Each structure stands twice: as structure tokens, then as C-alpha cells.
Amino acid sequence: MKALVADDVPMIRKLVEFHLKQIGFDISNAADGAEALMLASNSKFDLILLDIMMPEMDGLEVLRKVRAGSVNKETPVIIMTAYGDSANVRKAVEYGANDFIVKPVEQVSFRKKVIDAVNSKKAEKEK
């Protein structure tokens, strides 16, 4: 399985990558929204994790463009945010996010949300 992790904080990317590798993902990283969109436009992923606040383009805009594109239109997307404010969460859901994670990332709930998102997508495909 392949995952795209987009966050402008290197330590967060490493932590998320560590957790994803523990459950069998190969990882591609992006340090900003523009890089994330370029990767998501050119490669198929099984999961995309996007920080909301990033330089170049925020995670919500990346999500909106991914959902409007063709390559990862149906890929589960989890938004990561240090701010659990309802306006951003509401926008993320409106733009098509499957779930959100409030940072700092807590291992057990992170893994559960990732596995649930991927399994939900697999179940949809099998229908």
C-alpha cells in the first residue's frame, strides 16, 4: 500500500511515516501543499494525509483539487491539524475528507483511523 504524507514539519512527517510503516505502507512525503498536489496528480495512493496549515497551498485546497482531479479522486484522505476548530473540520468534510486527526498524533487512534479509512474504501470497491 502507498501513502502520501504532507506536512511542513519534518518531525511530524517522520512520526506519521513511522506509524504508517508499522502497518505496511510505503511512504511519499511532501513538505508543502504544492508538492503534495504534484505528487497526488502523478501517482496513485491508497491513502493521503494532509496537514491543514502548509506553505504554498493549504491542505484544504490540496484536498479540494485532489477531489476534483482524476488520479486520487476516490482515495481516502485524512486531514491532520493542530487546531481542532470546527470551521476547518467542517470545510474538510465539505471538501471530501474521510476523517481528521488532531496533532500531536496519538498512536492507537491514528492507526485505527488509517485502517478504518483504507478498509472502508476496500469495502466500497467490493460492492
List Cβ neighbours of 116 (8 Å cut-off, separation of 6 or more): 99
Q: Is residue 76 part of a domain?
A: yes
Q: What is the pLDDT of residues 75-112, one digit of tens each?
A: 999 999 887 677 888 888 899 999 988 888 888 888 99
pLDDT of residue 42: 94
Mean per-residue pLDDT for 23-34?
96
The grid cell for 118 is: 483504507
CATH number, domain of 38, equals 3.40.50.2300
CA distance 51 to 76: 14
CB-side neighbour CA atoms (13 Å) of 122:
9
Q: Does 79 map to a domain?
A: yes
Distance, C-alpha 10 to centroid of its chain: 15
How many domains does the chain contain in total?
1
The domain of 84 spans 2-21+33-110
pLDDT value at 36 more than 90 = yes
Q: What is the DSSP letter of 82?
A: S
As a whole number, the mean pLDDT across the chain is: 90
Percentage, residues of the chain above pLDDT 70: 96
